Amino acid sequence: MGAIAGKFGAVYMAQGSPIAMTDEATTCLDPGAYTKYQIADAAKRYVDKDTPVTVKVNGVEQSSGWTFDYVGGIVTFDTPLTSADVVTVSGAYLQ
């Protein structure tokens, strides 16, 4: 299959073992809507799919009501949060 004009792609490969991360800070990607939060540290945004991810809002673990994008480290909540809410993520990232 050949290349498609006007399209861009990239391939990323992780090396080594996953590295644990605990209560990593996030940044809101959609201020005003408050549903998408990304791990703030760009080096930790490729998350190991074989390690359970824990999401907390204001220090309280959320067992449901969210989805997680392992490539990019993005949490998407089903219902909006507020500007005062603090979201953290625990799991393991890939280098």
The least confident of 13-22, 41-50, 56-65 is 13-22
SS3 44: helix
Q: Decide: 54 and 90 in contact? Cβ < 8 Å.
A: yes
The least confident of 13-22, 74-83, 84-93 is 13-22
Q: Decide: 92 and 21 in contact? Cβ < 8 Å.
A: yes
**Predicted confidence (pLDDT) per residue in 55-71, tens digit:** 999 999 999 999 999 99
